[in-house]
Chain A
Amino acid sequence: MRVLAAMSGGVDSAVAAARAVEAGHDVTGIHLALSRNPKSYRSGARGCCTIEDSNDARRAADVIGIPFYVWDMSEEFHDNVVEDFMSEYAAGRTPNPCLRCNEKIKFAAVLDRALALGFDAVVTGHYAQLATGHEGMIEMPRSVAMGKAQSYGHGVLTQDQLAHSLFPLGDSVKDDVRVEAERRDLMVAHKPDSHDICFIADGDNAGWLKEKLGDRAPNDSGDIVDHATGEILGQHEGTTAYTIGQRKGLKIGRPAPDGKPRFVLDIEPVSGTVTVGPRAELRIDRIEAIRARWCGTVPSRLEGTVQLRAHGEEHRAIVTTDGTDVFIDLIDPAEGIAPGQAAVIYDGTRVVGSATISSTARVGVAAG
């Protein structure tokens, strides 16, 4: 097959490209330039937008011996990922830009262009496996490399996208991939993993949002109030600095009467109110989600599990859907679930799909 290897400059995508060559594919490497001016989003630090990463990817492609190009996806990335990130925060939600990037850029804009240019598939360094399930459907079992938790990030992929994806790292684990990179003389063998949001320089999401949103910020101050008494406990400098379940940075002088820590329970961007309360109030067992993406057949009712954070555990749940909206009744309640995050749905080890959490509620669990 003629395949296009998306190379971030990290060790995973470099080894994935090398394995694709070894598997006999005709491989072309590309690096996605996600910022028009590489310094405007991120400078010096680790991420997928730096000149160093582009050079690392190019160097790896040279060692592997494949053609390499840089594709400018900066407009698509800005419009679909960065703008979405900002507007979601402005609306009091907590978006997941990496999933959004998978959905709109890596497996959409890039794949579309690759297919049009005559490639058969896109190769990435994700730790994901594909298998053929019943009725020839492509299924994605949960990855062996659970540490990377990347099947969470693939809940957004459709059958068509999966049909044109190659994940050569499959069931490998990170340590083995690093050893293999060293054996292949890839200089990125010991390059640290990226964890932060790639377009935010220093991991200071709140500072970045404050600067970039400017006048578009829903508020620049407001009250921090107690969930039970409505008492004003303090002031904040803008709701975009907060996410549901957050404990740190609340800057409330007085301790709670019971001496226990307080958590953000709710964010109301219009009034600028941040509601706080005890941990028990974070427990929820009902989730409504929108923008559903199905990896295969759409289940009307499923008893499976859901994952609600990139590195979070699975919760047993009953999932129903009307096709677009998804209703999740958790058998195992969850804590601190923020609207905007993705709920990824599994049937056993198989990824079924994902949806964006729009609201949460407590039906069967009592507070405390």
Chain B
Amino acid sequence: MTTVYLDHAATTPMLPAAVEALSAQLVRTGNPSSLHASGRHARRIVEESRERIAQALNCRPGEVIFTSGGTEADNLALKGIHWSRGRSRILSTSIEHHAVLDPLHWLDEHEHADVELLPVDELGRLDTDALRTSIERDPDSISLISVMWANNEVGTLQPIDEVVALAATHGIPVHTDAVQAIGAVPVDFATSGVDALTLTGHKVGGPFGVGALVVRRELEVTPLVHGGGQERDIRSGTIDAPAIVGFAAAVEASVKDQADQHVRISALRDQLVDRVRAIVPDVIRSGDPDHGLPGHAHLRFPGCEGDSLLMLLDARGIECSTGSACNAGVPQASHVLLAMGCSDAEARGSLRFSLGHTTTQADVDALVDAIGPVVERARAAGSRKGA
């Protein structure tokens, strides 16, 4: 059975350039912090990678702090900036990834931070009026504002420009989790005006276990991890040269191809949505159809359980996601959909298809062929009560 992979938002296959760069470095010896020739060579590879990423994102090389991935970068931004600024409030949105929400809950519970999660509209877009009101209530009390660039479940792009404009009036730093956005939509760090930005390797065709926080030099960040003083003393730990060079190759390639891939992938995505709707007329698409990620198709199937649909598609070799957070493997209604005004049952009856650089017309055809009988079966199995 061939695999039809429509879950690129979970992770996307590594790009050949990334595999090649990583493999080449894996067999070389050298700790980038060592002073001898092997160390110097590794150091050069890491610094060149930093420069390539800086070039791709339009930031300064010194602003790139390598981390173990998106979750660590988010934690570093939120805790590190909150601690260094020492104010009481943190503003964010109700649709952030758990890598943002959970550190915020932790800061709220353990550090007495006053966390405010601002609402979104039915398309999943931040209510900037609510943000303005919240800021203006007491701007001096705010440590930072964190708003994701694009939502990972429904794909809605957030009004980062407006967030930055509102924050800038009061000199409040802005962090954005851009894990889903890099390589999918144009992201320009300097022009955007954000102060800190999270990205991760495996979402852009790079390896797992590596990511970065891009953070303005002027902004002080209290470290979470103490040790050998690597990464400007902000993130200690032996530098993973092979992962970093693979990561840089992927960022560079995905950003370079972004515009072309956007056209190609969004056309396939639109076709997928249209053809599924022709077969299942009552399907509902979540998210902002005009301001969204190119590869996301988040669909709600009334009367179905998302996990039934997923299982039935999986049995046919079609891989997607229920787009819901997993707690110990227990499917929970997505906090994103609940924040967008869905009921618990509506939220559970959804699937996220996410297309990416390896997606082909044949993948879309395979899904379209399968979806009718799958939805019919899932409907027969029904949704749980309350649906």
Contact = CB atoms under 8 A, between A and B. Distances in A.
A and B: interacting chains? yes
Interface in B280-335: 307-308, 310-312, 314-315, 327-332
A70 B378 contact: no
Interface stretch (B42-50, B72-80, B379-387): B379-387
A117 interface: yes
Interface in A16-45: 28, 31, 33, 36-38
A54 B330 CA distance: 9
Contacts of B381: 113, 116-117
A75 B385 contact: yes
Nearest to A109: B384
A274 B220 CA distance: 68
A74 B386 CA distance: 14
Contacts of A36: 330, 332
Interface in B347-387: 377-378, 380-382, 384-385
A51 B380 contact: no
B315 A38 contact: no
B92 to A, nearest CB: 23
Nearest to A32: B330
Interface in A62-86: 67, 69-72, 74-76
A31 B330 CA distance: 10
Contact of B382 (A28, A71, A72, A116): A116
B329 A33 contact: yes
Interface string B40-66: 000000000000000000000000000
A58 interface: yes
A28 B330 contact: no
What's the interface size class on A, roughly? 20 to 34
Given A28-B311, A28-B315, A118 B377 contact: yes
Interface string A300-323: 000000000000000000000000
Contact of A116 (B314, B315, B380, B385): B380
Contacts of B310: 69
Nearest to B328: A51
Contacts of A75: 384-385
Nearest to B378: A117
B315, B329, B381, B385 — most chain A CB neighbours (10 Å): B329
A38 B381 CA distance: 25
A190 B308 CA distance: 33
A51 to B, nearest CB: 4
A117 B377 contact: yes
A70 B331 CA distance: 8
Contact of A38 (B311, B330, B377, B385): B330
Interface residues of B, number: 20
Contacts, number: 53
A123 B382 CA distance: 21
Nearest to B311: A69
B7 to A, nearest CB: 15
A63 to B, nearest CB: 17
Interface in A103-127: 113, 116-118
Given A28-B315, A31-B329, A54-B329, A69 B384 contact: no
A72 B326 CA distance: 11
A74 B308 CA distance: 16
Contacts of A51: 328-329
B343 to A, nearest CB: 14
A340 B340 CA distance: 46
Contacts of A67: 311, 314-315
A58 B329 CA distance: 10
B382 A33 contact: no
Nearest to B310: A69
A71 B310 CA distance: 12
Contacts of B328: 33, 38, 51, 54, 70
A62 to B, nearest CB: 13
B308 A70 contact: no
A37 B385 CA distance: 19
B226 to A, nearest CB: 30
Interface in A321-338: none
A37 B308 CA distance: 21
Nearest to A68: B329
Contacts of A38: 327-328, 330
B377 A116 contact: yes
Nearest to A67: B314
Contacts of B314: 67
Interface string B169-206: 00000000000000000000000000000000000000
Contact of B307 (A58, A69, A116): A69
A28 B311 CA distance: 9
Contacts of A70: 328-331
Contacts of B384: 72, 75-76
Nearest to B307: A69
A51 B331 CA distance: 13
B312 A117 contact: yes
Contacts of A58: 329
A4 to B, nearest CB: 10
Rank and list the top 8 A-B pairs by shortest CB-CB distance, nearest first.
A116-B381, A70-B329, A33-B330, A51-B328, A116-B380, A117-B381, A38-B328, A54-B329
Given A113-B308, A117-B381, 18 more contacts: A28-B315, A31-B329, A33-B330, A38-B328, A54-B329, A58-B329, A67-B311, A67-B314, A69-B307, A70-B329, A72-B330, A72-B384, A113-B381, A116-B377, A116-B381, A116-B382, A117-B378, A118-B377
28 contacts: A28-B311, A37-B327, A38-B328, A38-B330, A51-B328, A51-B329, A54-B329, A54-B330, A58-B329, A67-B314, A67-B315, A69-B307, A69-B311, A70-B328, A70-B330, A70-B331, A71-B307, A72-B384, A75-B384, A113-B308, A116-B381, A116-B382, A117-B308, A117-B312, A117-B378, A117-B380, A118-B312, A118-B377
